Amino acid sequence: MQKKDIGLGILIIVVGAIVYMRNPLFLSPINLGNTANLIGLFGLFAIGQGFVIMTGGIDLSVGSVIALLGVLFVDMVGKFGVPWPLAVAIIIGLGVLIGLAHGILITRFRLQPFVVTLCGLLIYRGIARGYTAESTAGFPFGSSYPQLEWLTIGRSFGVPHSFVAMLIVAAVMWVVLHHTVFGRHLCAVGKNEEAARFSGINTRFVTVMAYVICAVLASIAAIYFAMFTKSVQPSSHGNFYELYAIAAAVLGGCSLRGGEGSVIGIVLGAVLLQELQNLVNLLGIPSSLNFAVMGAVILLGVLADQQFAAYRTRKNTERALGLLQKP
Amino acid sequence: MDQQIWGVFMNVLELKNISKRYGAIQALDSVSLAIAPGEVVGLMGDNGAGKSTLVKVIAGNFAPTSGDILISDKKVAFNKPLDAQKAGIEVVYQDLAICNNLSAASNVFLGREPTRRIGPIKVVDYAFMRSKSAELFARLKSETRPRDLVHKMSGGQRQAVAIARTLLSDAKIVLMDEPTAAISVRQVAEVLNLIRQLSDQGIAVVLISHRMPDVFEVADKVVVLRRGELVADKKASQSSPEEITGLITGAIEHA
């Protein structure tokens, strides 16, 4: 664990303690279960976003991908009677294709990630709304898919399976980032692409893979969100979710300049964001102020982190100078 | 390194009448040069004299228009930098191809990370990376620590990291492009020491530099290019900075 992660963990505990003192319902099993579910849902695609950010890129299309693939999943399973395992495979396959498209446009055609994924944001949302003619996609009345529901919205010992899925994904991605050659190369490409290329790293492949990972995790999240909301309203489903993901990744210590970040940090970032949402609800703050609270806390968090880092550097320099001056 | 083993080959690298043309421009004009194992060659010349072109031809970035390259007396043809790397030629770039956010050990192994298997997955072997790079730094007599992040290092230590990369692949020749250009005086001494360490291990070094004192400090041989032509190839001990300056500017025709 890095120092940043520990700081974030402490912040989560402090905020939690304050909320608990004001409203003990915070630690009630129902509230914890619901919050854990949301952490799972948002954490899933925040991890993917983190990988893209580590390459020095950004993926703004996540929310629209969740809406489009959510609509398609609900329609496939609910309307056309596609067996759900096949539907899941198709959705993840579409996620791979979307990620490949982003990655290839960015590496081969040298377009900027912001532009490519901004266009993705508009295109996927537009297709979702056009395909459904603005009507809400939902499962037919009375339909039930026990296994799919168990996997997505089921709970074991009160722990929502979305949260478990996020933990599994986080564990896998932790190994990928910190203990595989690909993870090393991802950090190198994000910081100094030229150096990575001179070292014989296939930098295009690494970048494309980051976008594929992001889109695949977004497609998995799309299935979980569709099952959670049961119906998908194409114009509002998943709105701003890319920004939640970016916020979680940045709170978790990913630098938008690339090359830095940790999976534990991203997960903790997602936890803090949901804790703040929960805080707004539990402390009776008007929910219209939701975004304002979140924005203020992220700003303060990043500012504090910057100041602490500067302070540590100053202290270290002073100590080093002190040692030099001693005879 | 055992001189007997190295003695088998006369030259680790030999260039025979290398020419390189870009359209109407003759960047290299029939350059011939031989480098012995462990020899330190100072490659000098004014801007545009053809130094970079020569280095790029040796490093396999592009093929010469005509002429032959011989490695350990065997003729070779490089189509891409990887071919040259496989033949034992390593380049340390001026703007150091290293990543600031990674540790020294990670940088040494960047692009060729050792892995070990845990069940079905291959994970990076950090322990081996650290111990091997510590060994390489020790061979270079550098105090660089494998775990340290590169962005906290001095220019000299960064050079050590970049040079350790070349040791990893058992290079025969290391090409160094202006390694002493942007660092402090104390660090220059450190880098020149690194060059001597390479030479002591039988690795030939081609040092491209504008800094006359650095070249005369370490080079066995000084080679001067002027307008794509090789105008001097002589022992550093038999030359002087004044003579080399004259050769570079054209005040002295040939040596």
CA-CA distances (angstroms) from residue A98 to A64, A94, A142?
Answer: 11, 6, 33
Q: What is the ipTM of this complex?
A: 0.76
pLDDT of residue B2: 43
Any bridge partners for residue B91, and if so which?
B175
- Mutate which of A178, A187, A199 to disrupt the B interface (most B C-beta within 10 Å)? A199
Minimum-distance CB partner of A192 among B82, B99, B122: B99
Indicate if the pLDDT at residue A294 is higher than 70: yes
CATH architecture of A3-325: Orthogonal Bundle (1.10)
pLDDT of residue A70: 94
Tell me the two tokens of residue A31.
């509230």
Q: Given the DSSP bridges, would you call strands B173-177 and B204-208 parallel, antiparallel or unpaired?
A: parallel
Tell me the two tokens of residue A83.
């067996």
pLDDT cut 90: percent of chain A above it: 60
Q: CB B98 to CB A180 under 8 A?
A: no
pLDDT of residue A225: 95
Indicate if the pLDDT at residue B111 is higher than 90: no
Amino acid at residue number B44: M
Mean pLDDT of A17-34: 92
CA-CA distances (angstroms) from residue B158 to A315, B88, B226?
Answer: 24, 22, 31
Minimum-distance CB partner of A195 among B85, B98, B115: B98
Q: What is the pLDDT of residues B55-67, one digit of tens each?
A: 888 888 888 899 9
Mean pLDDT of B153-176: 84
pLDDT cut 90: percent of chain B above it: 14
**Is A192 within 8 Å of chain B by CB?**
yes
- List domains and CATH numbers for chain B: 3-102+155-249 (3.40.50.300)
Q: What is the pLDDT of residues A57-83, one digit of tens each?
A: 999 999 999 999 999 999 999 889 899
Indicate if the pLDDT at residue A47 is higher than 90: yes
Indicate if the pLDDT at residue B248 is higher than 50: yes
Q: CB B97 to CB A259 under 8 A?
A: no
In the block, residue with structure tokens 């890095």 = A2
Mean pLDDT of B224-231: 89
Q: What is the pLDDT of residues A196-235, one digit of tens each?
A: 887 778 889 999 999 999 999 999 999 999 999 988 999 9
Phi, psi at residue A228, to the nearest 5°? -70, -45
Output the average pLDDT for chain B: 85
Tell me the two tokens of residue A28.
């009630």
Domain ranges of chain A: 3-325
Q: Which residues of B touch A185 (CB under 8 A)?
A: 111
**Residue A49, min C-alpha distance to chain B (Å):** 20
Q: Given the DSSP bridges, would you call strands B89-92 and B173-177 parallel, antiparallel or unpaired?
A: parallel
**Is A177 within 8 Å of chain B by CB?**
no
Annotate B35-77 with DSSP letters as a single string.
E-TT-EEEEEE-TTSSHHHHHHHHTTSS--SEEEEEETTEEE-
